[in-house]
Structure 1
Amino acid sequence: MNFSKSFSLLAAVFLPVIFTPMSLAQSNMSDTHQDEAQLLSFTAEQMKMADIRVAKLTPKYMDKRLYAPGEVQANGYTSYVVSPRVESVIVRRHAILGEHVEKGQSLVTLFSEDVAQAQALYRISYADWQRAKKVSKDVISESQLLATETDYIAAYSRLKAYGLSKKAIDLIAADNSSALGEYTLKAERSGSVLSDDFQQGQRVSAGDSIMVLTDEHELWVEARLAANNRMPLTKGTQAQVILSGTAAGEDNTYQAEVIQQAHTIDPKTRTRIVRLKVKNTNHQLHPGLFVDVYFSVITKEPILVVPESALLRGSDGDWLIYSKQESTNKDEVHSEEAIHEQDEISSHVENAQHQNKAKQKEDSAKEHQHDHNETAENTELNKDILSVSLAAEVAHDHEEEHQQNQQGQTNFIAQEVELGAIYRVFSPKEQRWLSWREVSGVAENSYFAITGAFFIASQSAKSGFDAHNH
């Protein structure tokens, strides 16, 4: 019987000790739920698995992108038009459309009556000039010598004006049996044959375009803007030219520069034309292709921007970012709770001692009664002791888990922001365009989650509270 009463006393003392902190913790949780409802904590391992990355929110200058459709054009300053200088008939071609030709390469052979007469006159003038130079000055006057030389120079210049090369002209004088009237136009510069709108045997007039040669290493892009667009696009403004690929991810991006803009409106399309020059590094751009042009205009002042991956909509439709919060020092809180719990334990122990003394007096009078109930009381006491032990173990495990979770945690809180303009920035590392949004309503130099916002929001939903604390 004494053994039974001793365990009853132990149960009376330790049960309040174990369950008092649990009840206090529940009370504290209910009291502070309103303050910590928005706080979400993640360990370093959780952040790594969820790819949660944190960055500092600092003001920066951004490129405001202005879109305009564009068309690739041949560089008019480096292109060359191949045309006859006299009425002729096309005899044969030597280059085809799209072929890359070098300077001096034969392009097309023509026949002309005027050229035949000029070649004959040159052959005679050349022979007279060579004969006059060999004659003594006593035989021929100086005026006759000058006239002969002048006729030779005039005949030579006429053939040059018709498009004959020096080598072809020299061949006329060297071989008197060569046919007259045929001449070949040569490439005056290296480039690609952009057009060859003619057929063999066709008669062409002086000045008609036979071929167009262009250097495709540097091309023009003509972008068309709305007539009322007042965006300042001065000479030297940078832009990106995007040539869409046949499949996703095959787009080619080129850096371009504004070289001039029209001060008149196209009467057909009612648009303003802005001309850019672009380096055709991989030879993928060709005249006639349609491209997308994005002009880059630097903001006048630095602004706060976040990547779109950091933005989420709240339950009420507002935009949110998850701001990193400094970890709170909970050692003092735990110390105060421990002192409070110790006072509660001491109070329960004193009450248990007073109750024990009263029970000893009462039990001494009833000791001789109901000895057969001792076994049943011991059984109930063992159950109480087992319950106390299990509760103690659960409380101990909970405390250890709580202490481990407090080590190395990062706290986030949902914060509403107002959105502004959209900025698209090309990432050379990822080889794709990234979208950024201007935000307001958040402090500068604060830290926020740039990736993993969706995971943070999902954990917030699992916690069963509203991220806005409404």
Structure 2
Amino acid sequence: MKTKRYLNILVLLSFFILVACSDKKKEHDTVGTKYTCPMHPQIVQDKPGTCPICGMDLVPMTDQGKDASIRLNESQQKLANIMTMKVGKGSMANSKVLNGKLLNNPEFTEVISSRVSGRLEQLYVKETGVAVRKGQPLYKIYSEQLLTMEQEYLLALKQLAAFPNEKRYSEMADAARKKLELYGQTSGQIERLGNTDKTDPYINFLAPASGIISELSAIEGQYVGEGSVLMKLENLEQLWVEAQLFANELGNVKEKSTVTVQVDGFESEPITSIVDFISPQFDANSQIITIRARLSNPKLQFQPGMRANIFLPYGNASNAITLPVKAVLHDGKGEHIWVKTGDNTFEPRMVKTGIENFDRVLIEQGVKDGDEVVISGAYLLYSEMKLKKGTDPMASHHHGTM
């Protein structure tokens, strides 16, 4: 009986020892394990829990090793749009970025005014923003003044036909024709009048140029006097881009200087232009000077009022290594890039940057000639590293050497 009792006690002790060892092993396994949110990799904790942002359960981080590199297979690289380029030395133009604005070019603005007095019978364009072509009818007017001039021209033609050798009749016909031209009649309209030998009190007036109707100042049925403004026509094929700079920066720009213009929304289509105006005086209160360049707009994709950046060159760097601006990541510790170090292997590297223009940045330290640098998808690599390793990939990095 005693032997059986001792045996039971021994079995119970063995069970408790096994349970204690198992719990100790579990506790040992969880020591040092970090947990993160699958949706927000910046959330990292030392114990299980929920994400304070989205409420999802935190999951243990996987460990890819203690080194700072990360591996992605070819499918993962395609999904993340990882693109690389081998860097080489070259020259780079330094520039200053000015905030600009697109404006109408007054040289291409047509003010459409009534050439004669009369009543507006019909407006063929009744709202602003409408595109018109040169020679397109804009309005019809009833004018007794113009009717009288038509009659004078037809009479002069009949007198010339009756006395073809009389110089004074020829001069009278020419004078009557020029008078009609001065009052806005086209050569085609005058020829038609002579051929039909019929006057018409309702006369169409045609667009003198192609463009956009930017302003309407008249309505149908209105009586207008000679010279009354009816509408404005803007030709947007060439615009102005204006920017402002401080007086102490004026030495960086001169008339005929070449600049690069980048319109908001069309950053991938930079335009080269020439500065053709620098204000001869500056605002005494703001100490600001206005500069202006012409902007070609043959596709009419740019509109007045749009914002633009003007890149004003003021120096060059030669024998330099440059990268696309988007290849360089910025955080509180500085700037860094990702370099491909082997097949499907990438590692972060701190860099020191220099001058920057609208699409390139000078790398002063951290990259050498021939390095293969990630130029697309760098931020995704950064997030993947934090998710899989649970640490900032740049926490222990320092600037490299050229």
Mark yes or no: TM-score above 0.5: yes
Deviation of residue 204 (structure 1)? Answer: 3.5
Alignment-mate amino acid for residue 295 of structure 1: F
Q: Work out the CA distance in 2 between the residues paired with 1:447 and 1:422.
A: 20
Whether contact under 8 Å (2:261, 2:311) holds in the other structure is yes
Which 10-residue stretch deviates more, 451-460 or 162-171?
A: 451-460
Identity within the alignment, %: 14
1:292 maps to: 308
1:401 maps to: none
Q: Work out the CA distance in 2 between the residues paired with 1:124 and 1:320.
A: 86
1:219 maps to: 238
Alignment-mate amino acid for residue 297 of structure 2: K
1:423 maps to: 357
Deviation of residue 176 (structure 1)? Answer: 5.9
Deviation of residue 188 (structure 1)? Answer: 3.0
Whether contact under 8 Å (2:139, 2:205) holds in the other structure is yes
Deviation of residue 419 (structure 1)? Answer: 3.5
The counterpart of 1:196, out of the listed 187, 211, 216, is 216
Deviation of residue 197 (structure 1)? Answer: 1.8
The counterpart of 2:134, out of the listed 65, 86, 103, is 103
Q: Work out the CA distance in 1 between the residues paired with 2:117 and 2:358.
A: 56
Query: Once the two structures are superposed, what CA deviation does each residue of 1:165-207 show, in whole Å capped at 9, x if it has no partner?
Result: 3343345455666445x43212233333333321223344444
Q: If the length of structure 1 is used for normalisation, what is the TM-score?
A: 0.54
Deviation of residue 128 (structure 1)? Answer: 1.1
Alignment-mate amino acid for residue 159 of structure 1: L
Pairwise CA RMSD: 4.3
2:174 maps to: 153
Q: If the length of structure 2 is used for normalisation, what is the TM-score?
A: 0.61
Change (3 A) 1:88 1:227: farther
Q: Secondary structure at the match of 1:261?
A: strand
Q: Work out the CA distance in 2 between the residues paired with 1:409 and 1:159.
A: 79
2:291 maps to: 273
2:156 maps to: 125
Query: Once the two structures are superposed, what CA deviation does each residue of 1:386-418 show, in whole Å capped at 9, x if it has no partner?
Result: xxxxxxxxxxxxxxxxxxxxxx89796955x54
Q: Work out the CA distance in 1 between the residues paired with 2:169 and 2:293.
A: 53
Q: Work out the CA distance in 2 between the residues paired with 1:258 and 1:86.
A: 41
| 2:183 is aligned with 1:162 | yes
Whether contact under 8 Å (2:239, 2:295) holds in the other structure is yes
Going by fraction, where is strand more abundant, 1 or 2?
Answer: 2
Change (3 A) 1:253 1:117: farther
Change (3 A) 1:239 1:205: farther
Q: Secondary structure at the match of 1:184?
A: strand
Alignment-mate amino acid for residue 85 of structure 1: R
Alignment-mate amino acid for residue 147 of structure 1: R
Alignment-mate amino acid for residue 358 of structure 2: R
1:440 maps to: 364
Q: Work out the CA distance in 1 between the residues paired with 2:329 and 2:130.
A: 52
How many residue pairs are counted as aligned between the two chains?
315
Query: Once the two structures are superposed, what CA deviation does each residue of 1:20-74 show, in whole Å capped at 9, x if it has no partner?
Result: xxxxxxxxxxxxxxxxxxx94758767996869574363441463513130242x
Deviation of residue 87 (structure 1)? Answer: 3.7
Change (3 A) 1:239 1:98: same
Whether contact under 8 Å (1:94, 1:108) holds in the other structure is yes
Q: Work out the CA distance in 2 between the residues paired with 1:253 and 1:446.
A: 27
| 2:121 is aligned with 1:91 | yes
Deviation of residue 280 (structure 1)? Answer: 4.5
| 2:253 is aligned with 1:232 | yes
1:304 maps to: 321
Whichever of the two has the greater Rg, that structure is 1
Q: Work out the CA distance in 2 between the residues paired with 1:439 and 1:412.
A: 17
Q: Work out the CA distance in 1 between the residues paired with 2:152 and 2:193.
A: 11
Deviation of residue 160 (structure 1)? Answer: 1.2
Query: Once the two structures are superposed, what CA deviation does each residue of 1:306-339 show, in whole Å capped at 9, x if it has no partner?
Result: 456445668xx455567788x9xxxxxxxxxxxx
Q: Work out the CA distance in 1 between the residues paired with 2:268 and 2:173.
A: 56
Deviation of residue 159 (structure 1)? Answer: 1.0
Whether contact under 8 Å (1:40, 1:413) holds in the other structure is no
Q: Work out the CA distance in 1 between the residues paired with 2:200 and 2:370.
A: 86
Deviation of residue 162 (structure 1)? Answer: 0.8
Q: What residue ranges of structure 2 are gaps of 5+ in the alignment? A: 1-65
Query: Once the two structures are superposed, what CA deviation does each residue of 1:130-163 show, in whole Å capped at 9, x if it has no partner?
Result: 1112xxxxxxxx6xx1112111111111111111
Alignment-mate amino acid for residue 171 of structure 2: T
1:241 maps to: 262
